[in-house]
Structure 1
Amino acid sequence: MMGTALSRWSMSYFTAALSFLVGAQMLMVAGYGFPAMAAEAPETLVLVHMVAIGWLSLLMCGALFQFVPVLVARPLRWERLVLPAMICLLAGLTLLLAGFLQLAGVFETGISLLALAGTLLPAGFLLVVGVLGATLWGAGLSLPARFVAVGLPCVLVTAILGALFALLFSGFLPALAEIDFRTQALPVHIAMGLGGWLSFTAVGVSYRLLPMFMLSPDRERASSRAVWWGGVAALLLTALTPPIAAFLLKTGLPDATSPATVLAVLFGMACLILYGFDLTFFYRHRKRRIIELNSRAAQGAFLALALSAVLLLGLLATGTLDQHIGALLYLVAFGWLSGLGLSQLYKIVPFLTWLECYGPVMGKKPTPRVQDLVMERRGWIWFALYFLGVLAGTESLLVDQPGLFRAAAAVTLLATLAIVVELVLARRLANVPDGKRLPEGASRPRLFLPRLPLNSDKWRPQ
């Protein structure tokens, strides 16, 4: 693979993302928001957006700034916009959370904080899409890059709908008050965010990361292309069905959108089955016989994704989707997306740390392996504890036991904190023996801020 530059700010994005994850889990343990409160309560909205934007979206942005150049074998374009994008996202999210607290009556100001957030958050995501889109533009897009290319407009749709919600809650755009946003726009907002931006992009990135880290064949397969086409079809149907249904209702024409919804679900399920076949292929045909912990832990995330699909079908079959939608979204957000994110961070952080620290002396001095930066014998305990906590939390939501959910959330919080500590130890080279830690010419990387200028401009994954 051709060398590419290290992303200066990816580690800062990861640090901010992990901070929001830990903060959200602490609130869950304290009984803040759902399920102790209604799903539409402002307190629940605080939790939801801490996870969706603060944790998952910042994590995805930081990862894409590093790996999109790898996918297209060219440098990141407009790199100077990466820091302003993070500032806009953090400031916008802070205002959004404060605006929800304002709605909950925690404090009162004469300023519409939600309206300000509805400006800054879309601006931040627009900068992210601009940087990544400019990097993808004109390049020969591999299959993983095509997944990312679909995820970028999805995040814009999600951000725009979120901004409209914020303006509506703030009393602006009174014409929108006549529209039933909860039934017409909210499903699209959730589907484009969790399904398009986060899940579809995560699937695409996994098509590159798993073969790279397990040394598996990474050629395009017919099943992989079918996953892309089927996913695009499912996303389009999901995005277009609510506005078409509203138009038909307004004009008095018969509603023909139910078959489209069924078709979107069928496309999605077919994609998951084919994706499962591809994952099985990667694991079975790997050259690295003993796989590292990040690839083993990712299996828990893939299992959570499969369980999410089974749960969705079960809820649809029993007509209880509205009643248990919280359990389904929790399993998707914390089992599938967060599980995959944490498992890959366990490799990405040591990998980038190794490149930043030992890249300048690679081939000149003896250096430790990437695996030497972590202690997998200790780390697997935390991942096992994490996924057990997620499964217990999902079950407690299904049986409507808020107390048990708080206990399960405490387990996932403990595991997450332990994984964060492992990442900090890897970043500080604490697991590397003293004799190999800092050979001549190598320097200890900063914890989460870049060195200016960065020590190692070029790297070549091994």
Structure 2
Amino acid sequence: MIGASISRWTITYFAVALAWLFAVLILMVAGVGYPASEIAAPDTLVLVHVLCIGWLSLALCGALFQFVPVLVAKPLFSDRMPLPALALLNIGLLALLAGFLSLGGRLPPVLWLLPLGAVLLAAGFGLVLVDLGMTAWQRRTGPSRFVLVGLASLFATTCFGVLFAFTLAGEAGPMGDLAVAHGIPLHAIAGLGGWLTLTAMGVSYRLLPMFMLSPDVDDKQSRITFVAGTLAIVVAVVGGSIAIGVASGLSAVLSAAAILGAVSAASYGRDVVRIFRMRKRRQLELSMRMSTLSFASLTGTIVLGGAIVVTDTIAAHIGSFVFLASFGWLSGLVLAKLYKIVAFLTWIETYGPVLGRTPTPRVQDLVTEGRATKWFVIYYASVWAGTAALLIGQPVTFRLSIAFISLGIVGIVHEMIRTRRLADVAQSLRLPGGASIPPLLFARN
């Protein structure tokens, strides 16, 4: 990474993603959407899409624009695509949300905003797919394979979303009605399972060894994770689409995909344990310690998913399952990694140009882990409490948990801002000759 090009807009993606995260938390504290509304209600659709597109997808895109070139040891295909992609994604998401609010009666009936938003989102994600896909395609081995499958899953997710949007606006005909009636699980699996989870797994295969000074996991060791995860998505998306087309049930398809997904997650867990055991950096940094809580949440998500399938309580508890997967596993991992990535990129941007010519601080000198730890603890404890509240049907307790989650995230974001401002660096090392404080919301590159 030393001397490598810094993605100019990665920090911008992170900032916008965090703004969307606060938006969804405010709505949840206010009681908008599930569990106050049905899981498929328009208000819940607003929450789900703000969370998955505004927060998780934008944060992941920002990280990928920086780290996919690292994975393949090649420059990003185009440095010009990330900014227009960001603009299209945000405008498209706003239009889509307005369409959902219109669908739920909170705005005048302007359902044409649904297909407009979907098309704009498709255009934004199209730029992301081209830029990252062309970059990752140059080396189709190791973690980049996961990214490519994740991008293919993003394409499938977007296609489903466009079809659903046109259908809800009354523009897709009987085939669209059939897709909306039965295809939502496929849309969710492609998005949460393929795009967000498989991609996060692939990137972590590189970032965890890099930040812990551990040997990389070679292709043979990660093959089970990759093959089982890929097959899970293919079975769900392709097999499920065929089943819908021939009016067959989805139960067998989803069960097969769930088994393959569990195998992939178990293999990934084995590889993560090996990375931790083989590390040369014995004292774990805060980011790594908090990542273990995300992996614990992933385990809990798998166990919870199996339990609600065995007990045939999917309809009653799918909300708690999605909440734990979204906030405990994915959001927790993203927040833990952002804490490290922001410090890492800030250090490179600030001290990389003067490295070797003057004394500089370490990356760890940019952060104060003791102060930040409590915010992560509040976050994870509140996520688990919120999951329990949903399981036992306590909506007031759930909203209280969301308030504490928000408090934890405010603290984490404040720590990242301090890192970006070099607020915790000793004055004697803070700004040696030739170094300057980087801009808060973008990189100088």
TM-score range, shorter chain: over 0.9
**Structure 2 residue aligned with 1:368:** 361
Structure 1: how far apart are the matches of 2:201 and 2:65? Answer: 16
Within a 5 Å distance, the mapping from 1:257-406 to structure 2 comes to 258-406=251-399
**Structure 1 residue aligned with 2:209:** 211
1:238 to 236, 245, 250: 236
Structure 1: how far apart are the matches of 2:203 and 2:218? Answer: 14
**Structure 2 residue aligned with 1:201:** 199
Q: Per the alignment, do residues 178 and 62 of structure 1 end up closer, same or farther by CA in structure 2, a change over 3 Å counting?
A: closer
Q: Secondary structure at the match of 1:5?
A: coil
Instruction: Indicate if the aligned counterparts of 1:305 and 1:335 stay in contact, CA closer than 8 A.
Output: yes
**Structure 2 residue aligned with 1:459:** none
Q: Per the alignment, do residues 432 and 87 of structure 1 end up closer, same or farther by CA in structure 2, a change over 3 Å counting?
A: same
Within a 5 Å distance, the mapping from 1:134-153 to structure 2 comes to 134-137=134-137, 139-153=138-152
Structure 1: how far apart are the matches of 2:191 and 2:146? Answer: 14
Q: How many residues align?
A: 445
Moved more, 235-244 or 40-49: 235-244
Within a 5 Å distance, the mapping from 1:149-168 to structure 2 comes to 149-168=148-167
Q: Per the alignment, do residues 368 and 401 of structure 1 end up closer, same or farther by CA in structure 2, a change over 3 Å counting?
A: same
TM-score, length-scaled by structure 1 = 0.93
Residue 167 of structure 1 and its aligned partner are, at CA, apart by 1.1
Residue 2 of structure 1 and its aligned partner are, at CA, apart by 7.9
Structure 1: how far apart are the matches of 2:48 and 2:165? Answer: 15
TM-score, length-scaled by structure 2 = 0.97
**Structure 1 residue aligned with 2:172:** 173
Residue 10 of structure 1 and its aligned partner are, at CA, apart by 0.3
Moved more, 323-332 or 24-33: 24-33
- CA deviation profile, 1:113-134 (whole Å, cap 9, x unmatched): 1121011000000000000111
CA-atom RMSD, angstroms? 1.5
Instruction: Indicate if the aligned counterparts of 1:223 and 1:275 stay in contact, CA closer than 8 A.
Output: no
Residue 175 of structure 1 and its aligned partner are, at CA, apart by 3.8
**Structure 1 residue aligned with 2:402:** 409
Residue 448 of structure 1 and its aligned partner are, at CA, apart by 0.5
Structure 1: how far apart are the matches of 2:19 and 2:374? Answer: 21
2:428 maps to a residue whose letter is: G
Instruction: Indicate if the aligned counterparts of 1:4 and 1:69 stay in contact, CA closer than 8 A.
Output: no
- CA deviation profile, 1:319-345 (whole Å, cap 9, x unmatched): 001210000000000000000000000
Residue 246 of structure 1 and its aligned partner are, at CA, apart by 2.5
Instruction: Indicate if the aligned counterparts of 2:163 and 2:176 stay in contact, CA closer than 8 A.
Output: no
2:28 maps to a residue whose letter is: M
Instruction: Indicate if the aligned counterparts of 2:7 and 2:443 stay in contact, CA closer than 8 A.
Output: no
Q: Secondary structure at the match of 1:14?
A: helix
Residue 160 of structure 1 and its aligned partner are, at CA, apart by 1.4
**Structure 2 residue aligned with 1:429:** 422
Structure 2: how far apart are the matches of 1:34 and 1:144? Answer: 35
**Structure 2 residue aligned with 1:114:** 114
1:161 maps to a residue whose letter is: F
Query: Does 2:190 match 1:192?
Result: yes
- CA deviation profile, 1:101-152 (whole Å, cap 9, x unmatched): 1222222265721121011000000000000111123x23331110001000
1:212 maps to a residue whose letter is: M
Q: Secondary structure at the match of 1:79?
A: coil
1:77 maps to a residue whose letter is: F
Instruction: Indicate if the aligned counterparts of 1:24 and 1:50 stay in contact, CA closer than 8 A.
Output: yes
Residue 410 of structure 1 and its aligned partner are, at CA, apart by 0.8
Residue 258 of structure 1 and its aligned partner are, at CA, apart by 4.5
Structure 2: how far apart are the matches of 1:178 and 1:115? Answer: 15
Instruction: Indicate if the aligned counterparts of 1:78 and 1:134 stay in contact, CA closer than 8 A.
Output: no
Residue 180 of structure 1 and its aligned partner are, at CA, apart by 4.7
Identity of aligned residues (%): 47
Unaligned 5+ residue runs, structure 1? 250-254, 455-462
1:167 maps to a residue whose letter is: F
- CA deviation profile, 1:380-419 (whole Å, cap 9, x unmatched): 1111111100000000001111000001111111000100
Structure 2: how far apart are the matches of 1:182 and 1:174? Answer: 13
**Structure 2 residue aligned with 1:56:** 56
Instruction: Indicate if the aligned counterparts of 1:244 and 1:257 stay in contact, CA closer than 8 A.
Output: no
Structure 2: how far apart are the matches of 1:394 and 1:234? Answer: 25
Residue 222 of structure 1 and its aligned partner are, at CA, apart by 3.3
2:290 maps to a residue whose letter is: A
Q: Secondary structure at the match of 1:314?
A: helix
Q: Per the alignment, do residues 111 and 259 of structure 1 end up closer, same or farther by CA in structure 2, a change over 3 Å counting?
A: closer
Higher-RCO chain (CA-CA 8 Å, sequence separation at least 6): 1
Instruction: Indicate if the aligned counterparts of 1:4 and 1:74 stay in contact, CA closer than 8 A.
Output: no
Instruction: Indicate if the aligned counterparts of 2:136 and 2:147 stay in contact, CA closer than 8 A.
Output: no
Residue 426 of structure 1 and its aligned partner are, at CA, apart by 0.3
Structure 2: how far apart are the matches of 1:49 and 1:334? Answer: 14
**Structure 2 residue aligned with 1:247:** 245
**Structure 2 residue aligned with 1:25:** 25
Structure 1: how far apart are the matches of 2:64 and 2:23? Answer: 23
Structure 2: how far apart are the matches of 1:198 and 1:174? Answer: 30
Structure 2: how far apart are the matches of 1:233 and 1:91? Answer: 34
Instruction: Indicate if the aligned counterparts of 2:167 and 2:177 stay in contact, CA closer than 8 A.
Output: no
- CA deviation profile, 1:337-369 (whole Å, cap 9, x unmatched): 000000000100010001111111011111111
Structure 1: how far apart are the matches of 2:253 and 2:93? Answer: 34
